[in-house]
Amino acid sequence: MAGQLIVGLDVSSRARAEEIVAALGDTVEYYKIGYQCFYGADGFALGKALIAAGKKVFFDLKLLDIDNTVEKGVAAIAETGAAMLTVHAYPKAMQAARRGAEGSTLTVLGVTVLTSMDDQDVRDAGYARDAAGLVALRAQQARDSGIGGIVASPHEAEMVRTIVGPKMAIVTPGIRPSGSAAGDQKRIMTPAQALAAGASHLVVARPIIEAPDPAAAARAILAEMASKGTRLA
């Protein structure tokens, strides 16, 4: 289970990020570095240091640009030995990312619909679909592009698994342990429910990094994951 839990280092200081990593010790082996940490905490160098220390690193950068730029950017990340990298789940971006990652162990993930968005947010963005419909479209396009996985809400994980099959990664943010606050997330599940729905990896940040004892919080989540409780309807 430890390999399926990814802790989001959503902090603006490298010193704080390193404190969290030290507090978690051997409890956690996988870390996500997103915008806040990447730009505010020298996250690229931090990621390379974590990789050198034997940790797995997920660079959550949501790349989207012209094909050549995406391909070259992905190739540069692949050279670090990172485990995962996100791009926006547009067909051409995913195809370019696949080319950039060729020959490496980097898993490219297509980001479908953010877990902070609901059906109204999707409509406001100009899509003539609800959130689930847009996720389904992006999942099909990710599968056809040949990348390694997608990022989706746990509420769509079961549907996505039927689309992409058993091998692709389904990485789910919006994970909240039993009894914790939803915060700004709208489509959430508990760890066990997300795994039961078909997720392969769970991203958790605030419930762990803001806990008085991050290692204890991580162990509690791992215990929930191991229970694989009943999924939501």
CA triple 100-127-66, angle to 5 deg: 25
124 annotated ligand binder: no
63 annotated ligand binder: yes
205 annotated ligand binder: yes
195 annotated ligand binder: no
The two three-digit tokens of residue 59, written as one number = 């660079």
Q: What is the dihedral of CA 138, 142, 144, 146, to 10 degrees?
A: 180
32 annotated ligand binder: yes
185 annotated ligand binder: yes
42 annotated ligand binder: no
For residue 228, the tally of other CB atoms under 10 A from its CB is 14
24 annotated ligand binder: no
As a whole number of angstroms, the distance between CA 139 and CA 198 comes to 14
10 annotated ligand binder: yes
Catalytic residue numbers read 60, 62, 65
69 annotated ligand binder: yes
66 annotated ligand binder: yes
172 annotated ligand binder: no
220 annotated ligand binder: no
Residue numbering of the annotated binding site for substrate: 10, 32, 60-69, 115, 176, 185, 205-206
Residue numbering of the annotated binding site: 10, 32, 60-69, 115, 176, 185, 205-206
